Amino acid sequence: MKKELLMGTALVSTLGAASVAEAVTATMSGNHQTGLEFDSPTGGVDTNAQKNDNNFTVSLSETTDGGMTISSSFKVMDENTKEDYDAGFTLAFTDGSKLDVLNAGNASASHAVSIPSSAGAEGVTITSTNNAPTGLDFMTDSTVQGIEYHTAADFLADGLKMSFSASTDNGANPAHTYKVDSHVAVGATYVTDLGDSAVTIGGGYSTTDGSTASTAPSNDAEGMHFGISAVTGDLTVAVGFADGSKTAGDANDTEVDADVVKAGVKYVSGDLTFNVGVASGEAQDGSMGTAGTTTDSQDVTSASVSYAVAAGVTAILGYTDVDSGDEGLNDTTDGSAWYIGANMSF
C-alpha cells in the first residue's frame, strides 16, 4: 500500500496536478449475502451448507484544480479472503478518457459482454484436472506492473469506446510454476440502437508472454472473444464466443487450448427478475511444452428468480446443472445445485 501511495504522489507531480486543499472524498458501499446451498453430485452423497458473501468497499477520489480526478479503492471481503488492497490509481481526464496505473488489468477482459446466468451463489465442483473454461475472458492474464488506457465515449465513431493495456514482469527469475512476463491487449465496446433495441457489441484480443525455469510452453496465452447483447424493454438477450490458449496456473504447469460459447436471457417483471444461461467450454490440456490431445468439457445450465423485497434487499432462488468430462471421459463429480438466500446491499 505504501508503494502505491508513493507511486500515486509521483504521478500527480509528474502530470503537473495542482495541490488539493481539502481531504480526499471517501464513499462506502458493500453487500451482505447469505443463504443455503443444496448440492447433488452425480457420483456422491447430497450435501447442504450455508454460503456467505460479504464485501465492504471504500472508494477514494479527489479532483485537482485542473479538473483531473484521482481515485483508488480498497475492499474488505468475506471471512475467507479478508481484504483486497490491490487497486492502483485511476486518473480520469477532462476529455472523458481514463488511465489505470498499477494492477490495471487487461483491456480485452474489460470489454467482455455480460451474459445472463443464475444470480444465485450455487456452484458445482468438478474434477480439478478439468480445464475447460466457461468465461469469455479466460486468456486475459496480466501483471501488477501494468497500465490500461480507456478512451472517451464516441472514440472514432458514435457509440464506440476502446481500451489498450500493457504490463511487464517484476524482474524475478521464474520458478517451476509458469510466470507471466508481459502482456499486450486491446478491447472495444460499441453501443447503438436497432429499432426498439439497445445493442451492445464487445470484443477483445490479448497476447501474453511467460516462462518457467525449465520447459517453455508450446503456446503462450493468447486469444480473442466476441459478444453481443440486445435490450428490448425489460428483456435482455446475449451471446458470446471465446477462443484461445492459457496456462492453468496449477503445480503441473498445464497449458490449455480452449474455446467457449455462452448465451443467456434476463427478463424483468416488476419486482421479479428471471435469469437463464447456458455455457459450453472445451479444452485440450497437456504438460508444459506439450499440446493436449484429449478433450475436457463443461456444459453449464443455470437459472434464477430474484425478488426485490425492499430497497437494497433481494431474495434469490438459483439452480445450476453441470455436465462435464475430463480427458475424454465422463466426470462423475459433476451434478446440480440449488441455492436460496438473500442479498442486502448499500
Residue 12 reports pLDDT greater than 80: no
The domain tally of the chain equals 1
- Mean pLDDT score of the chain: 88
The per-residue pLDDT for 79 is 57
Residue 64 reports pLDDT greater than 80: yes
> Once rounded to an integer, what is the mean pLDDT over residues 41-59?
90
pTM of the model: 0.84
Q: Give the lowest-confidence range in 11-20, 42-51, 123-132, 147-156.
A: 11-20
The per-residue pLDDT for 6 is 38
Beta carbons of 338 and 318 less than 8 angstroms apart: yes
Which structural domain range is residue 164 located in? Answer: 2-345
> Once rounded to an integer, what is the mean pLDDT over residues 177-192?
92
> Once rounded to an integer, what is the mean pLDDT over residues 269-283?
97
The per-residue pLDDT for 94 is 95
220-261 per-position pLDDT tens digit: 789 999 999 999 999 999 999 999 998 876 666 788 899 999
Q: What is the CATH number of the domain that holds 61?
A: 2.40.160.10
Residue 21 reports pLDDT greater than 60: no
292-339 per-position pLDDT tens digit: 788 999 999 999 999 999 999 999 999 999 999 988 888 888 999 999
> Once rounded to an integer, what is the mean pLDDT over residues 143-152?
95
